[in-house]
Structure 1
Amino acid sequence: MRYLALATDYDGTLAHDGRVDEPTREALRRLKETGRKLILVTGRELDELLEVCPEIGLFDRVVAENGALLYRPDGREEKALATPPPPEFAERLKERGVGPISVGRVIVATWEPHQAAVLDVVREMGLELQVIFNKGAVMILPSGVNKATGLDAALRELMLSPHNVVAVGDAENDHAFLGSCECAVAVSNALDMLKERADWTTPGARGEGVVELIEALEANDLAELEPRLGRHHILLGHDDEGGEVRVAPYGRRVMVAGTSGGGKSTLTTGFLERLAEARYQFVIIDPEGDYTDFELAVTLGDPKNAPSADAVVDLLVKPEAQDASVNLLGIPLADRPAFSDGLLPRLQELLAKTGRPHWTVVDEAHHLMPRAWTLAPAALPSGLGSALFITVHPDSVASSVLEAVDILLAVGKDPEGTIRRFCEASGRAMPAGLEPVDLGRGETLAWFIREDRAPFRVKTVAGKSELRRHGRKYAEGNLGPDRSFYFRGPEGRFNLRAQNLQLFLQLAEGVDDPTWLHHLQQGDYARWFREEVKNDELAEAAGRIAAEPGLSAADSRARIREAVEERYTLPAEPAESATDPSKFG
């Protein structure tokens, strides 16, 4: 389910003349039986509410006093969410002839036209208070307190995100909490300004409108309202005409595929950054440590310590809704798919209970979810919610994953070939109008599979932060024989293997000048940085150094070292034998 909670105002929305009718009560009971939470958000004081609302026990939380008080009906516990004004404040109002006045746990309330006198007393006493209006009521609260802040406190206790809440109201003081939720609904008797800002206005008024909203939730989880929720869609980039290209945040399965060094990581990190800005929670399953230093996510695991599924879940359920990057470098390569298979059901269970994480990101999907993936199709497609799969080889990914994908973003060289391999592996027909495209830096060939549109070029929006590329994996890990760099020289006299950047720099200091210059001038360093280290920026720097006329072997060595060290943190202690090529012959 997308919407795991209904947050509703009381007077004028749920209730008419202070009372909830039986059809509305019955609809609330039915919604509760679906497993959804009910949250009452009202400007009323708690004691008054308990008198007029016998059905208060249906609610999982009550936000009273316009956001200043939180009440837990099951345990009859209350919690003030702000500091009340001093007692002298109400006394001073009475001296000014303001009345009637009611004083709650935090709130002080009166009626129009006393707002001018209220503001005078606030100013005279030097208090940090605000005035909120509600159909003639004048509510005085600590600055910054409103229904949205109170609802946020309730959602933290329930471990829910505002992105999984639909809110309904009718009056001025409902703007804040409706605006904080994924879907905002106004009943037909609501103020015109509220209806203009709502995503949907119910045909019925008050309780009848709430019943209509509940029936829509029961029928299809408000799926028909998705086209109206464009404000939540995540910016991907711009097409050739300059139009914005956005991705809906719910129920999407996106695959980023293409050649090494083609910009998959750059595209992905920019997209994740915008998810974080919009407060959609994500978890990255990172088999090669590529996102270790991604500053927007908390990293669990490192090359020496394996992460645990329990630690991942514990982090994701925290009220702060932190994003997570699960580094699998501490797990033997052959065991990483098994760890991922054990984590995915835990993420599914968490998603069903809390609606989070909103996005699951699987890097190197061809390794973790290969063609013979034994967990498929139990974990996909619906169980993971929105998902992002990243791969060099879409034709090596499990068919259940490919069949679930509804947006394909092809990057790098031969993007139309990437789409062709995806179609062949997934059994889909090739899209009409597909033509060869030369993608520039930061561009992708986007295919929105559900839409009747040929794949089109998108200039993606770069993120504000850069990944410190692949951290310790490339700096001091082991890339393996096929991905290592080999110093062989112009006559093939050597076979010196550099399995990481640390060893590469150490060997570079020991090889003779002809060997060093041979690989530099052939573009071997730039090619390795791009294709195996997967760092376009470093590859471009190496290419510029190689093209600089008259640069000596010593100077080019120093410049390459400087370019590497600028982008990676290398161990302080060099390997003792690495600088003597004779020991590697």
Structure 2
Amino acid sequence: MLVAADGEHAATIIEVIGELGLDYQIAHNRGALMVLPAGTTKGTGLATVLGGMKLSPHNTVAVGDAENDLSLFGIAEIGAAVADAVASVRRSADLVLDKPDGAGVAELLSGPYLAGVQRWCPPRRWVDIGTFDDATPTRVPGSQGRILVTGPAATGKSYVVGLMAEQWILANYSVLVLDPEGDHVQLQQLNRVQVFDGGHHLPEPVELLTMLQPHSSMVVDMSALSEPSKVDYMYRLRSAAEAHRHQYGYPHWVIYDEAHLLSGGEHAHWARRGGYVLSSFAPASLPAHEIDASDVVLTLTTGDATSGIASRRRASIRIGSEPVREFTIAQRQTAHVRHWHKYVDIGLPHDRRFYFHTSARQAIAPAATMRDFGTAVRHLDQQALEYHLERGDFSRWLDGTIADKDLATQVAAWEDELLANRAADLERIRLHLAQAVEERYLPAQEPD
């Protein structure tokens, strides 16, 4: 139930609500007011309507002029105030229009933003991906951006791409990840993220996109496909995703990992709308107009062991025409394992496998995959396990061969812990032994 009243009756209404013991609230509307059940606002109404229509708040622009419109701004991607809006609404708006009332709304409807000519993401919708050296946050657009991620192999491109995907997913954007190498399957640890595995079955692109919802995301893992099949599927999914976005407004982001796979064939402006990420170690192979159209360029480089920050992931960022700045990349919420499927199921060359120190009574074959490695570690005898832990063999192999620095760091800590505890135990036993010998054979001499 909603009751409208003149603002001069506010004190009386509050008194009546108290006398009746009701859970109601007052929302001001310039000189008038609205009496509503607690928790009910224009914003909650908008959210309910959008949910029923299967539309996303991130595709919504709200226009307001009075205090009770402020809740709309919290739901919609962009909040716009007409020129004659009350001061609190103008302060809270992302955009203040030049004209008042209906003329201001008409200005917005006929302007470049809703026509798709102008792309803009309000600052409050940007997401954090790290920290600059002056301790200020490193941020990228929450929507509408064109982002290029580049750098040599194994420098952390897929890590930072996954980090951005995490932040967008957590902010309820819809994200579609085209994942040729299986680097992003761990995103399924987040709510409302589906993974489709090419090793089992990939639906046709149009069918796949029917399973996407305004608040859901999906990762298309193509690591089990041959390279020609990957390229073919990426091309078809790219076209289907653009058509789906044109009709429904989402996915809000399409991430093309290993984007150089799309370098051949047509050179249409397939990502002209914004809301996409291109990640590649070979950006020169991408269409020049796509590179030039990038709003944000993230560059990953190999770490400098002498810099004092070698243990932290570093990158540089250029936003628009601003200068390039270096920053420290934030920690991920989900685990990141580069080329996950490759190491699980595809055997390594003989010279890169893990060879176990085994005795005549326990012969264990070298580990060609991470599946082999995990099984072998469970069955190693204690002597062999101690041998490898004491030498740091496990962490060295995980870092140098598997390139899983996070797991290698964790295992190295366990190896160090074993050595430290063993050293402490040795010192404890040394002290006990010395004391026992002294007490038994070298009793304290009586004073003269």
TM-score (norm 1): 0.60
Q: Which of 292, 303, 310 lines up with 2:185 in the alignment?
A: 292
Q: Distance in 2 between matches of 1:290 and 1:447?
A: 22
Q: C-alpha displacement at 1:194, in angstroms?
A: 1.4
Greater shift in the superposed pair: 287-296 or 338-347 = 287-296
Q: Distance in 2 between matches of 1:549 and 1:113?
A: 75
Q: 1:126-165 counterparts in 2 under 5 A?
A: 126-165=21-60
Q: Which of 218, 238, 255 lines up with 1:361 in the alignment?
A: 255
Q: Distance in 2 between matches of 1:231 and 1:114?
A: 36
Greater shift in the superposed pair: 272-281 or 398-407 = 398-407
Name the SS for the 2:197 alignment partner.
Answer: coil
8 A Cα contact 2:350 2:368, kept in partner: no
Match of 2:233 in 1: 339
Q: Distance in 2 between matches of 1:405 and 1:527?
A: 38
Match of 1:411 in 2: 300
Q: 1:166-177 counterparts in 2 under 5 A?
A: 166-177=61-72
Structure 2 counterpart of 1:211, one-letter code:
A
Q: Distance in 1 between matches of 2:81 and 2:112?
A: 15
Q: C-alpha displacement at 1:333, in angstroms?
A: 5.3
Name the SS for the 1:498 alignment partner.
Answer: coil
**Distance of aligned partners of 1:541 and 1:443 in 2 relative to their CA distance in 1, 3 Å threshold:** closer
Q: 1:42-53 counterparts in 2 under 5 A?
A: none
Q: Which of 304, 312, 323 lines up with 2:208 in the alignment?
A: 312
Structure 2 counterpart of 1:500, one-letter code:
T
1:485 and 2:356 are equivalent in the alignment: no
Q: C-alpha displacement at 1:150, in angstroms?
A: 1.7
Q: C-alpha displacement at 1:235, in angstroms?
A: 1.8
Match of 2:5 in 1: 110
1:381 and 2:250 are equivalent in the alignment: no
8 A Cα contact 2:185 2:221, kept in partner: yes
Match of 1:119 in 2: 14
Match of 1:352 in 2: 246
8 A Cα contact 1:292 1:470, kept in partner: no
8 A Cα contact 2:181 2:339, kept in partner: no
Q: C-alpha displacement at 1:205, in angstroms?
A: 2.2
Q: C-alpha displacement at 1:258, in angstroms?
A: 3.8
Match of 1:264 in 2: 157
8 A Cα contact 2:199 2:224, kept in partner: yes
8 A Cα contact 2:182 2:222, kept in partner: yes
Q: Which of 519, 531, 538 lines up with 2:407 in the alignment?
A: 538
Match of 1:34 in 2: none
Name the SS for the 1:114 alignment partner.
Answer: helix
**Distance of aligned partners of 1:351 and 1:129 in 2 relative to their CA distance in 1, 3 Å threshold:** same
Q: Distance in 2 between matches of 1:198 and 1:505?
A: 54
8 A Cα contact 1:282 1:324, kept in partner: yes
* 1:278-312 deviation per Cα after TM superposition (whole angstroms, max 9, x unaligned): 32221112233333232225223236522322453
Match of 1:180 in 2: 75
* 1:331-387 deviation per Cα after TM superposition (whole angstroms, max 9, x unaligned): 455422222221111110111122211111223334x43x4x33x42363315x222
1:398 and 2:286 are equivalent in the alignment: yes
Q: Which of 271, 278, 281 lines up with 2:174 in the alignment?
A: 281
Match of 2:429 in 1: none
**Distance of aligned partners of 1:531 and 1:126 in 2 relative to their CA distance in 1, 3 Å threshold:** farther
Q: Distance in 1 between matches of 2:286 and 2:116?
A: 29
Q: C-alpha displacement at 1:276, in angstroms?
A: 2.4
Q: C-alpha displacement at 1:405, in angstroms?
A: 3.9
**Distance of aligned partners of 1:213 and 1:121 in 2 relative to their CA distance in 1, 3 Å threshold:** same
Q: Distance in 2 between matches of 1:238 and 1:204?
A: 39
Name the SS for the 1:534 alignment partner.
Answer: coil
Match of 2:313 in 1: 443
8 A Cα contact 2:295 2:319, kept in partner: yes
**Distance of aligned partners of 1:148 and 1:467 in 2 relative to their CA distance in 1, 3 Å threshold:** same
8 A Cα contact 1:267 1:442, kept in partner: no
Q: Distance in 2 between matches of 1:129 and 1:514?
A: 70
Structure 1 segments unaligned to the other structure (5+ residues) = 1-105, 416-435, 552-585
8 A Cα contact 2:196 2:218, kept in partner: no
Percentage of identical aligned residues: 24
Structure 2 counterpart of 1:289, one-letter code:
G
Structure 2 counterpart of 1:381, one-letter code:
A
Structure 2 counterpart of 1:462, one-letter code:
Q
Structure 2 counterpart of 1:149, one-letter code:
T
Q: C-alpha displacement at 1:322, in angstroms?
A: 0.9
**Distance of aligned partners of 1:335 and 1:200 in 2 relative to their CA distance in 1, 3 Å threshold:** closer
Structure 2 counterpart of 1:398, one-letter code:
L
TM-score (norm 2): 0.76
**Distance of aligned partners of 1:447 and 1:138 in 2 relative to their CA distance in 1, 3 Å threshold:** closer
The total of aligned residue pairs comes to: 409
Name the SS for the 1:283 alignment partner.
Answer: strand
**Distance of aligned partners of 1:220 and 1:516 in 2 relative to their CA distance in 1, 3 Å threshold:** same
8 A Cα contact 1:168 1:186, kept in partner: yes
Structure 2 segments unaligned to the other structure (5+ residues) = 358-362, 421-448
Q: Distance in 2 between matches of 1:478 and 1:510?
A: 22
Q: Distance in 2 between matches of 1:312 and 1:379?
A: 23
Q: C-alpha displacement at 1:151, in angstroms?
A: 1.7
Q: C-alpha displacement at 1:536, in angstroms?
A: 0.7
Q: Distance in 2 between matches of 1:488 and 1:272?
A: 38
8 A Cα contact 1:474 1:501, kept in partner: no
Greater shift in the superposed pair: 152-161 or 355-364 = 152-161
**Distance of aligned partners of 1:353 and 1:403 in 2 relative to their CA distance in 1, 3 Å threshold:** same
**Distance of aligned partners of 1:515 and 1:334 in 2 relative to their CA distance in 1, 3 Å threshold:** farther
Q: Distance in 1 between matches of 2:349 and 2:228?
A: 16
1:323 and 2:193 are equivalent in the alignment: no
**Distance of aligned partners of 1:281 and 1:237 in 2 relative to their CA distance in 1, 3 Å threshold:** same
8 A Cα contact 2:99 2:107, kept in partner: yes
